[in-house]
Structure 1
Amino acid sequence: MSADERRESVIRAAVVEFGRGGYDGTSTETIARRVGVSQPYLFRLFPGKQAIFRAAALRCLQDTRRVIEEAYGPHGDDLEAGGLAIAVAYQRLVADRDKLLMQMQTYVAVAKAEAAGDHEFGREIRAAWAGMYDGMLLYFGGDHVRTAEHFSFGMLINVLVSLGFPADHRVWAGFWSESREVVPDPER
């Protein structure tokens, strides 16, 4: 396996391990073991734990941005259809519990670092998230309110999926389109 392939394996393993254990609760030894490499080799690929975490967090944000772009793209100027496509695609993305948990742990880790006065830890993550926001803002013609509504729905999806609410539970009722078609459950 090349160094790039190993690096990719570390990022995938980090998404799982940090998602499940959080930044503070995950050791680099656990990540190295999941990948099947030694810790010294892990540190030849990444300079430290923060770098591994940032790579995993940025991968989750990149995946989310890609899903948004692919979902909206075919709908052109049809904001309603594009918005619904984004919601459906995002729900499918976060059905992967490891990606969802990593996303949630990212917010926690950056908030903890900020509270401790470490503003550098989340700088790159904030920039990537802002880029995702700006991309969505373009889809919605510069409408900040509509963009915020979609991100709000995304966070609500995060909460509902994290808490394990089934698709037919009443808490999903707000995810109906004008045609009254419910956003499909990715597990069905």
Structure 2
Amino acid sequence: MSSGERREQIVAAAMAVFGAKGYEGTTTDDVARTAGVSQPYVVRLFRSKENLFLAAMQAALDELMRVFRATLADSPSDRPVAKRIGEAYVDLLSTRGLHQTLSHAWLLGGHPVIGPAARHGFAQVWQFFRDEAGFEAEQARSFLAEGMLINVMIGMRLVDDYGSDARITELFRACFPTELPHILDIAPRGDEPW
């Protein structure tokens, strides 16, 4: 495996672990074990947990924007852009930790290094919706709010209570009226580490 491929492997592992455990709850050793490399190798490559988190956050943002742009570039469709981008956002659940790493980043606004990077990334997402997707401000706000709700549902592993708790079942049906079977299939469960 090349050093570039090894770095990608570590960043993917970091995204999964940071997504599940947060910045404070994750160690470089956790990431190393998940990636199947030594902890000194992770530190040698990234120098600090902070840099590792920044790399995972940037990888999550890059993948999010890549998928959103690819969705826009798809051949014209009679389906609304918001619907297509929403489905692409949900499909990103297959990239373990992506949504939750971004959620953790947004919550680290007071961190002296991560905070500014997270704010910059969030502003890029907003700009995408306004400039590239052509959303009005209210439509962009609504889309981001629904995305945050989905992130919370996924992070809490609410899928575990689908079917046994009427409130959670109703919430899933309201949020995913057409994609529910797909969501139930790909959403991480409480007994999964990430």
- Give the TM interval when normalised to the shorter protein: 0.7 to 0.9
Structure-1 residue corresponding to 2:192: none
Q: Which amino acid aligns with 1:129?
A: F
Query: Equivalent residue of 1:169, what SS?
Result: helix
Task: Give, in whole Å, the separation in 2 of the partners of 1:95 and 1:159.
Answer: 16
1:57–1:102 contact (8 Å) kept in structure 2: yes
TM-score, scaled relative to structure 1: 0.78
Instruction: Mark the runs of 5 or more structure 2 residues left unpaired by the alignment.
Output: 186-194
Structure-1 residue corresponding to 2:84: 85
Task: Give, in whole Å, the separation in 2 of the partners of 1:37 and 1:125.
Answer: 27
Q: How big is the shift at 1:122?
A: 2.1
Among 170, 179, 182, the alignment partner of 1:184 is: 179
Task: Give, in whole Å, the separation in 1 of the partners of 2:147 and 2:135.
Answer: 19
1:3–1:45 contact (8 Å) kept in structure 2: no
Among 109, 115, 121, the alignment partner of 1:122 is: 115
Task: Give, in whole Å, the separation in 2 of the partners of 1:20 and 1:84.
Answer: 27
Q: How big is the shift at 1:145?
A: 1.4
Is the counterpart of residue 94 in structure 1 residue 93 in structure 2?
yes
Task: Give, in whole Å, the separation in 2 of the partners of 1:96 and 1:38.
Answer: 23
TM-score, scaled relative to structure 2: 0.76
Structure-1 residue corresponding to 2:145: 152
Structure-1 residue corresponding to 2:191: none
Q: Which amino acid aligns with 2:25?
A: G
Task: Within 5 Å, give how 1:33-44 maps onto structure 2.
Answer: 33-44=33-44
Structure-2 residue corresponding to 1:17: 17
1:140–1:147 contact (8 Å) kept in structure 2: no
Q: How big is the shift at 1:139?
A: 3.7
Task: Give, in whole Å, the separation in 2 of the partners of 1:75 and 1:143.
Answer: 22
1:27–1:162 Cα change, 3 Å: closer
2:81–2:133 contact (8 Å) kept in structure 1: no
Structure-1 residue corresponding to 2:136: 143
1:76–1:82 contact (8 Å) kept in structure 2: no
RMSD over aligned CA atoms reads: 2.7
Structure-1 residue corresponding to 2:103: 104
Task: Give, in whole Å, the separation in 2 of the partners of 1:140 and 1:147.
Answer: 9
Query: Equivalent residue of 2:178, what SS?
Result: coil
